[in-house]
Amino acid sequence: MESVEQIRPVIAPAPVMKSDLGTSLVLEQIVHRFGEMVALKNINLNIQPGEFVSLLGPSGCGKTTLLRIISGFLKPSSGKILLDGQAVESLSASQRGVGIVFQNYALFPHMSVWDNIAYGLRAKRLPNAKVNSKVGEMLELVQLGHLAKRYPSELSGGQQQRVAIARALAVEPKLMLLDEPFSALDKNLRLDMQIEIRRLLSEQGVTAILVTHDQEEAMSMSDRIAVMSQGEIHQFDTPSQIYDQPATLFVSTFVGTCNLLPAKLMGRDMSEYLVQVPGGGRFRVASPTPIQPDDNMLLAVRPENLRIQTQPSSHSLPSTVEMCLPLGAVTAYEVQISPDTKVKVTQPRIPGTRLLEKGQQIYLELASPHACSLFPATS
Ligand SMILES: Nc1ncnc2c1ncn2[C@@H]1O[C@H](COP(=O)(O)OP(=O)(O)O)[C@@H](O)[C@H]1O
Ligand SMILES: [Mg+2]
C-alpha cells in the first residue's frame, strides 16, 4: 500500500452551539481510495449540533467524496463516522436521516415540482393537510409557487436547484448536506438563497455541511470552515481566523489575496522575528508558533495589511509606486520594493485626498507584526 503523507491540520476548539434538533457529527481518520488514487488521506472533523460548516477547496480536492461518505452513498476505505455519538458506517443513506442537495439536482423527471417536494413527506406517511402546508411553505421559500405544476425539464437550472433545496428541507433533516447548491444560480438569486438557507437552517437548528469552492460563500455563510487541498484538511476554524491566521501557505493563498515575499530570518526580539524581504528592508513579524531558522521562507501579507507612509521609519521598505487603481471604496496600488519584486497594497480611499502617482517614492510598513504569516517556502 502506498504511504500516505499527512500534514497536521490546525483544528480550533469547537464553538458552543445551542441546538436540540441538529445532530453532532464526528469523523475519525477517514481514508478513501479510488483504486490507486488516495482521494481522502486522513480526515478528522468534529462538528457541533446546529453548526454550519463549509468544506472549502479547489476542484478535485475531495469535497464531494467526503460528503458522499457522510451521507452513506459511499463507504470509506477506512475510518469512523459518528452521528450523535452513534457509529453509522453500517446504516444506509436513508437510515442516517440526512438531507442532501447534490450539485446536479437529481430531481424525479416524471414528477411535477409539487410532487418532487412532497415526495419525502408522503414517504413518511404524513397526513395530506400537513403535506400540503409544508409543500406550500417550501414553495414560498424558494419563490416557485407559480411553477408548482411544471416538470423538471420545463425549468431552468437555477429553478431546478431551488426545487432540490426545497425537497431536501421539507422533511426537516437533522443534518443537511449541500454540494455546491448555489453554483447554477445567478448572482442576485444566489445571494438571496444563501441568506434564506442560512436563516432557515439556523432557525430550525439543523446541522449543515456545505461543499463549495467559492471562498466568499464559505466566509459569509459558515460558523466554521474546513479548508481542503488534495484530500487533506489544512485548517478547520472560524472564517475570521482562517483569513487572519492561515495555518498553511495553501490556506493563505486560496482564501483571499496575498502577497508572497521571499523572506530571510535575521533574528529574534522577544516573541517577534526580524525578517528581511527583497530590497533589503526588514519587518518585525509575530508568529503564534515558533519558527525554525530557515533562509528559504515566504512572508504572506494581505494587500490591506500594508501601510503606505511618506516618511521612513525603523521598519519600513523604501518603495516606488508603479500603478494606481482607484476601485471606489479602496485604492489598489502596485508597488515596487526591489528591481524584481512588486507587491499589491490597498488603502481605504478618503474623499478629498490625492492619489499617489506612478514613480512616487513611498515607505511600506506592516499594519502590525500580527498582520502577516511566515511559512517555509517548501510547504
Ligand atoms: N467514482 C470515482 N472514481 C474514481 N475517481 C474518483 C471518483 N470520484 C471522484 N474521484 C476522484 O477523486 C478526487 C476527488 O474528487 P471529488 O471528491 O469529486 O472532488 P471535489 O468535489 O472537491 O471537486 C478527484 O481526483 C476525482 O477525480
Ligand atoms: Mg465536487
Q: For residue 169, give the C-alpha cell.
A: 428541507
The chain-wide mean pLDDT, for the chain, equals 90
Residue 151 CA to ligand 2 center (angstroms) comes to: 26
Rounded distance from Cα 65 to ligand 1 centre (Å): 6
Q: How many alpha carbons lie under 13 Å from residue 282 in its C-beta half-sphere?
A: 12
Q: What is the CATH number of the domain that holds 35?
A: 3.40.50.300
Identify the domain boundary among 236, 251, 266. Answer: 251
Domain end, chosen from 251, 272, 296, is at 251
- Residue environment code for 19-49, b if the CB has 16+ CB neighbours within 10 A, otherwise e: beebbbbebeebbbbeeeebbbbbbebebbb
CATH number of the domain where residue 265 is located? 2.40.50.140
CA of 115 to the centre of ligand 2 (A): 27
Domain that holds residue 91: 10-251
The pLDDT tens digits of the residues spanning 235-263 come to: 999 999 999 999 999 999 999 999 999 99
If one compares 261 and 191, the residue with the highest pLDDT of the two is: 261
Indicate the pLDDT class of residue 270, thresholds 50, 70 and 90: confident
Mean pLDDT across 98-123: 89
The answer to whether 24 and 84 have CB atoms below 8 angstroms apart is yes
For a ligand 1 pocket test, name from 33, 43, 65, 104 the mutation site with the most ligand atoms within 8 angstroms of its C-beta.
65
- Residues 325-340 have a mean pLDDT of 93
Residue nearest to atom 4 of ligand 1 (CA): 34
Q: What percent of the chain has pLDDT over 90?
A: 65
User: What is the per-residue pLDDT for 131?
Assistant: 96
Cα(213) to centroid(ligand 2), Å: 9
Long-range contacts at 57-60 (CB < 8 A, ≥ 24 apart): 57/213, 57/227, 57/228, 57/229, 57/254, 58/213, 58/229, 58/254, 59/213
114 belongs to a structural domain: yes
Domain match, 290 and 238 both: no
> Given a cut of 80, is residue 10 above it in pLDDT?
no
**Which residue, judged by its Cα, is nearest atom 3 of ligand 1?**
34
Which grid cell sits at 74? 459511499
Whether residue 321 is found in the same domain as residue 244 = no
Same domain, 227 and 329: no
Residue 3 lies in a domain: no
Asked if the model's pLDDT at residue 127 lies above 80, the reply is: yes
Using most ligand atoms within 8 A of CB, pick from 31, 32, 33, 34 the residue to mutate for ligand 1. Answer: 34
pLDDT of residue 141: 82
Protein residue with least CA distance to atom 8, ligand 1: 65
pLDDT (tens digit, 9 = 90+) per residue, 193-237? 888 888 878 877 889 999 999 999 999 999 999 999 999 999 999
Reported as a single tens digit per residue, the pLDDT across 149-189 is 999 999 987 788 889 889 998 988 889 999 998 887 888 87
Give pLDDT, residue 179: 94
> Which is higher by pLDDT, 346 or 95?
346
* Residue owning grid cell 480611499: 349
Q: 309 and 271: one domain?
A: yes
Query: Is pLDDT larger for residue 107 or for residue 294?
Result: 107
Stretch 323-350: mean pLDDT: 94
Instruction: Tell me the mean pLDDT in the region 285-313.
Output: 88
| Same domain? 232 vs 345 | no
Does residue 2 form part of some domain? no
187 burial class (0-12, 13-18, 19+ CB within 10 angstroms)? Answer: exposed
Instruction: Read off the pLDDT of each residue in 93-115 and give the average, rounded to a whole number.
Output: 86
Are 244 and 288 found together in one domain?
no
CA distances from 145 to 52, 123, 125, 133 (A): 28, 22, 23, 12
Q: With pLDDT > 70 as the criterion, what percentage of the chain qualifies?
A: 93
Cell numbers found for residue 373: 504569516
Q: Which ligand is nearest to the CA of 35?
A: 1
In a domain, 303, yes or no: yes
Residue 181 placed within a domain = yes
Q: Of 222, 251, 280, which closes a domain? A: 251
Question: Are 96 and 144 part of one and the same domain?
Answer: yes
Determine phi and psi for 214, rounding to 5 degrees. -100, 110
Residue 5 resides in a domain: no
Ligand 1: nearest atom to the Cα of 180:
21
Categorize the per-residue pLDDT at 376 as very low, low, confident or very high, splitting at 50, 70 and 90.
Answer: confident
For residues 75-89, give the mean pLDDT: 95
Residues with CB under 6 A from ligand 1: 34, 37, 39, 57, 59-65
Kindly report, residue by residue over 14-63, the tens digit of the pLDDT.
Answer: 665 555 668 999 999 999 999 999 999 999 999 999 999 999 999 999 99
pLDDT (0 to 100) of residue 3: 46
The protein residue with its alpha carbon nearest to ligand 1, atom 26, reads 60
129-133, 138-142, 371-375: segment of lowest average pLDDT: 138-142
Please tell me the distance between residue 213's alpha carbon and the centre of ligand 1 in angstroms: 14
Size of the chain in residues: 379
Q: Which ligand is nearest to the CA of 181?
A: 2
Q: 289 with 204, same domain?
A: no
pLDDT at residue 1 tops 50: no
The mean pLDDT of 64-85, rounded to a whole number, is: 95
**267-292 average pLDDT score:** 86
Query: What confidence score (pLDDT) does residue 269 get?
Result: 78
Its sign, for the CA torsion 347, 349, 352, 356, is positive
Do 297 and 202 share a structural domain?
Answer: no
Choosing from 64, 103, 228 the residue with most ligand 1 atoms within 8 A of its CB, the one to mutate for a pocket test is 64
Judgement on whether residues 204 and 243 belong to the same structural domain of the protein: yes
Name the pLDDT band for 2 (thresholds 50, 70, 90). Answer: very low
Residues having C-beta closer than 5 Å to ion ligand 2: 64
Q: How many domains does the chain have?
A: 2
Angle at alpha carbon of residue 338, lines to 300 and 276, rounded to 5°:
50
- Tell me the CA–centroid distance for residue 313 and ligand 1, in Å: 51
Alpha carbon distance 197, 165 (integer Å): 9
Shared domain check, 149 and 65: yes
Same domain as 198, residue 87: yes
Nearest CA to ligand 1 atom 17: 62
Tell the residue nearest (CA) to atom 6 of ligand 1. 34
Interval between CA 85 and ligand 1 midpoint (Å): 28
For the CA of 66, the nearest ligand: 1
